[in-house]
Amino acid sequence: MEFAPHYLEPSTSPGQWEGGGSWTPSSWASGPWTSGPGAAGPWVVLRGGAGGRRTDGEDGVPGGAVLLDRDAVLVADIAYNGDPGRVYPRPGAREAVAELRALGVRLGVVTDQPGVARGSLTRPGIERVHHRIEELFGPFDVWAVCPHRPADRCGCRKPAPGLVLAAARALRVRPERTTLVGGTGADLVAAASAGAHGLLVRPDNARPGELAVAGHRRAADLPAAVRLLCAAGTA
């Protein structure tokens, strides 16, 4: 499978959501493109044609999108992994993604990769890992990557809303029609800050504070999360 990304450049111009309404730079919270000094990002990769599909359901495709955290939700969480040979899908994750894709749901991946800022990862290494993930899972409509450390004070590292907003904008899907399935409380806070929905998976590994943030929005794993989304009519 060929991985041919189209890189989106940061934008501060007003624009239109499909289905009506508009965004302005001030409506993006602190702006997903707002990063600390010398800290460019986030990196947004949109697959060809993904941003041009309708998102209002009039063509038979459900409106909205599901964004997935990468590590510990889609694949095993291996710190600073730039080796595609060490990409291991989580149990049932491939089938869960296939179920969402069969429903016509827009799919994206949002991931914090601070190893870039720390010098442990490179952009080509991350892209090789993402290529391998797409070989295993099939294509995702958008990838949004934060390459910063917490000290960079960027606007995209979760729990900041930038990754969610950047992915939604790339897909031309309103944040309130977007659900982020994540593995930490930071994912849920990022979703809420962006005006999106959040769902916590693997709650047995969560900290007490993260469970408090999640409330009833939790599932044992990605397959269970997909069942919840389908039952709620979110997917």
Catalytic residue among 56, 71, 77, 221: 71
Enclosing H/E stretch for 180: strand 178-182
CA 171 – CA 192 distance, rounded (Å): 18
Within the chain, residue ranges assigned H as helices are 93-102, 115-118, 123-137, 162-171, 185-194, 208-214, 222-232
Scan for tokens 């899907």, then name that residue.
Answer: 173
CA nearest 33: which of 167, 160, 155, 193?
Answer: 155
Catalytic residue among 69, 112, 141, 152: 69
- Could you give the strand order of the β-sheet that contains 197-201, starting from the edge strand earlier in sequence? 6-7, 43-46, 142-146, 106-112, 65-69, 178-182, 197-201, 218-219
69 catalytic? Reply is yes
Report the SS3 class of residue 68: strand
CA 159 – CA 189 distance, rounded (Å): 5
φ, ψ (nearest 5 deg) of residue 105: -75, 140
CA 156 – CA 194 distance, rounded (Å): 11
77 catalytic? Reply is no
CA 235 – CA 4 distance, rounded (Å): 27
Residues assigned a catalytic role = 69, 71
